Amino acid sequence: MLPRPSRQEMRRRMPRLMWGLVLFGVGLAFMVESNLGLGPWEVFHQGISINTGIPIGTVGIFVGFVVLLGWIPLKERLGVGTLLNVVIIGVVIDLTIWAIPTPDGDVTRWVLLISGLLLNGLASGLYIGAGLGPGPRDGLMTGIARRGYPVGVVRFGLEVAVLVLGWLLGGTVGIGTVLYAFGIGPLVHVFLEMFSLEPVPEAA
């Protein structure tokens, strides 16, 4: 496990983490409802959802726990944010999709897509900046990279693999996928600069 923050630190970090995870789930749901394309992992989740009838957020929860099993041989360190990431984002995605009406025109779909992308950037800055543990997919990527592989190559390989598999399963690949690929990195960088907190200190 990652170093355990003090109670004072938790009071400071938990609201950022929780808001970040909730907003991330809302943003992903907006992108799903836009039907204009998703990020690689969401394409994969959607493909499984289409073929099983399981809601996409619930699929994301299952996949998240499976990915965490991959942390065991990599000896990655869990944080409270890691476990909450797996559950909360998926639940919020399903609730948001249930709550919002299906878009009835191209303008509404584009508003959902752009809003979802911006929310994902903002939310990532909040929950990553809280410093309470990486998401399961990011932890898998960094764990593999620590075995001597360039992190960019690892990320590219993982995301291409799940994107292609998700597309073959029927997931939506489109302009939203392209915008996500080129836009999410700069957005996360901007919002991390705004919201990042110093790392939790190691125990003495």
Q: What is the pLDDT of residues 131-188, one digit of tens each?
A: 888 899 988 988 898 888 888 898 899 999 999 999 999 999 999 999 999 998 899 8
CA–CA distances in Å: residue 50 to residues 41, 142, 167: 14, 30, 11
| pLDDT greater at residue 176 or residue 74 | 176
Least confident of 18-22, 30-34, 131-135, 167-171: 131-135
Asked whether residue 63 is assigned to any structural domain, the reply reads yes
| pLDDT greater at residue 10 or residue 196 | 10
The parent domain of residue 136 ranges over 7-195
User: Cα–Cα distance between 70 and 162 in angstroms, integer?
Assistant: 15
User: Cα–Cα distance between 75 and 69 in angstroms, integer?
Assistant: 10
Asked whether residue 94 is assigned to any structural domain, the reply reads yes
Closest CA to 138 of 68, 52, 53, 188: 68
The answer to whether the beta carbons of residues 33 and 55 sit under 8 Å apart is no
Asked whether residue 1 is assigned to any structural domain, the reply reads no
Asked whether residue 19 is assigned to any structural domain, the reply reads yes
How many domains does the chain fold into?
Answer: 1
Question: CB atoms < 10 A from the CB of 151, how many?
Answer: 12
The answer to whether the beta carbons of residues 94 and 58 sit under 8 Å apart is yes
Asked whether residue 200 is assigned to any structural domain, the reply reads no
Q: Which two tokens stand for residue 105?
A: 């025109």
In sequence order, what are the residues at sequence separation of 6 or more whose Cβ sits closer than 8 angstroms to the Cβ of residue 112?
30, 31, 33, 34, 103
Asked whether residue 201 is assigned to any structural domain, the reply reads no
CA–CA distances in Å: residue 168 to residues 80, 163, 175, 204: 34, 9, 17, 50
Asked whether residue 202 is assigned to any structural domain, the reply reads no
- Give the pTM: 0.90
Asked whether residue 2 is assigned to any structural domain, the reply reads no
